[in-house]
Amino acid sequence: MDPVNVNYVQEALDAFTDKEVYIHLETTNGAYASHHNERFFSAGAYFRNAKITYERAKMTGAGPYRVGLKIPYGWVYAEGITHYEIDSKGRILLAGHDFDGKLAVALQISETPFE
């Protein structure tokens, strides 16, 4: 994976606008705990192969980045994105690593289900 290139990632996100896609969104304890003080508990979320159609995608921030996907009744957000890859299948693979290099958040978008 490479460090985020905002223009390139935004173009890739825009290419999936108004298409039915599958997303994988995952956070680990690092996504919450690394940005807050130690008094707070750890948290995480995981879902795979959720089928959505987004009408707009937006990458914001100065790094780490936030990616928002506008769906009919709200937004899907991933915060803390630091790296990306467009794989040989044309899937967008976004990841955020904490200060120790551990995976904290992942957002993946594909026109076909993930294995």
Tens digits of per-residue pLDDT, 49-107?
Answer: 999 999 999 999 999 999 999 999 999 999 999 999 999 999 999 999 988 888 899 99
CA proximity to 69, closest of 103, 22, 4, 8: 22
Parent domain of 6: 2-110
Q: Residue 100's pLDDT is what?
A: 84
- CATH number for the domain that contains residue 49: 2.70.180.10
Establish if 115 belongs to a structural domain: no
Instruction: Report the number of distinct structural domains present in the chain.
Output: 1
Higher pLDDT, 53 or 31: 53
Q: Residue 76's pLDDT is what?
A: 96
The answer, yes or no, to whether residue 21 has pLDDT greater than 50, is: yes
Measuring CA to CA, how many Å separate 28 from each of 8, 11, 12, 14, 31?
A: 26, 27, 25, 27, 6
Establish if 16 belongs to a structural domain: yes
CA distance 59 to 37: 26
Judge residue 58's burial from the number of C-beta atoms within 10 Å of its C-beta, 0-12 exposed, 13-18 middle, 19 or more buried.
middle
Residues sharing a CB contact under 8 Å with residue 42, sequence separation 6 or more, in sequence order: 29, 32, 33
Confidence of residue 41 (pLDDT cuts 50, 70, 90): low
Establish if 81 belongs to a structural domain: yes
Higher pLDDT, 99 or 34: 99
Residue type, 39: R
Q: What is the pTM of this model?
A: 0.87
